[in-house]
Structure 1
């Protein structure tokens, strides 16, 4: 079995700089819970989105297991638009209602999901039989999970915690189970 621990990043401080947005004080404290939850999981590899908040969220796990964090650009958050959005709720609802719809300069659910899934299959091929922590983001994480099971949808995304962890267990490229790693 190959186990992927998809870790949605902890709470971050909002800035328009998607790449450099850091964790908040609360987010930094929450990374200790993640470390505690995963310290007994025999982690072999830690991969992260290039975004600082995702990297910071899994950094303690990598340190615990004395691992370097591999950066995987394709695990970045979905780009909603290249322009500021006046009504985030309206925009995010619309892209989830129509998987092919995208705002100007943004990614549709379909395109973002294809990007995320291609990356997941590449990871599964490269690291077969390993336990892998992946620092990522809510939208792309749920789009990846949705590829395997439609129950992971917009309503599911709206109820994610920050941080949150889901373990996906695979035999080859076949998903066998999804379970939540409970956060205190």
Structure 2
């Protein structure tokens, strides 16, 4: 049985220190509309999201289009990099990708975040087998999930993601059989 998971990296957000409540920017809201238009043609059965506002807002239009509430799955939230602000975000992310077991103080290692994300993905595949499911999530966690199924998806791939971005992962039962990029926001490159 084939199941399609449309992982949607959230659109651009306005920075606030409130990680959970950070909203989409005006550009992010416009891009979320484009996401909705693209996914209208994919026969979506349900929409799942991280609890973060920016992820929810990015896929809200799809849920409204299919007439269903968004199912919140906490394990699709972004990986916690650290308890404290890090001086250089990009080098901090590079460090955790260099050593899968390394974590910054109070943060998750790649191994920990990946295990959380893969468990959530497996639950979705088992619970909603044969469906087309949109999952609103975050770049780092999305790539860690993809990396579990195919090692070509790693740090370099994460660096090239757009915001927002959509990757359709097609599974036969729980085996990944195909990955397709559905759209990228060229204005972010």
Q: Give the TM-score of the pair, scaled to structure 1.
A: 0.98
1:100 paired with 2:112, answer no
Q: Tell me, which stretches of 5 or more residues in structure 1 are unaligned?
A: none
Output the CA distance in 1 between the equivalents of 2:45 and 2:118. Answer: 21
Distance in 2 between the 1:26 and 1:97 partners? 33
> Counterparts of 2:37 and 2:138 in 1: how far apart (Å)?
20
SS class of match (2:114): helix
Structure 1 segments, 4+ long, off by >6 Å, are none
Provide the secondary structure at the position in 2 that maps to 1:128. coil
Q: Which residue of 2 aligns with 1:20?
A: 21
Structure 1 partner of 2:88: 87
Contact 1:37–1:183 (CA<8 Å) still a contact in 2? Answer: no
Structure 2: distance between partners of 1:79 and 1:151: 23
CA distance in 1, matches of 2:184, 2:75: 26
Instruction: Count matched residues.
Output: 184
Residue in 1 that maps onto 2:155: 154
Q: Which residue of 1 aligns with 2:42?
A: 41
Aligned to 2:114: 113
- Deviations 1:5-63 (Å, cap 9, x if unpaired)? 00000000111111000000000000111011100111001000000000000000000
Whether the 8 Å contact between 1:33 and 1:183 is mirrored in structure 2 is no
8 Å Cα contact 1:34-1:183 kept in structure 2: no
Shift of 1:183: 3.6
Q: Partner of 2:41: helix, strand, or coil? A: coil
- The corresponding residue for 1:54 is 55
Give 1:93 shift.
0.9
Q: Equivalents in 2 of 1:4, 1:29: separation in Å?
A: 23
| Cα distance change on mapping 1:164 and 1:181 into 2, 3 Å | same
Structure 2: gaps spanning 5 or more residues: none
Give, in angstroms, the shift of residue 67 of structure 1.
1.1
Partner of 2:124: 123
Computed over aligned residues only, the root mean square deviation of the Cα atoms, in angstroms, reads: 0.8
Distance 1:50 1:58 in 2: 12
For residue 66 of structure 1, what is the aligned residue in structure 2?
Answer: 67
What TM-score comes out, normalization by structure 2 length?
0.96
Cα deviation for residue 88 of structure 1 reads 1.2
Mapped to 2, the partners of 1:97 and 1:183 lie a distance apart of 26
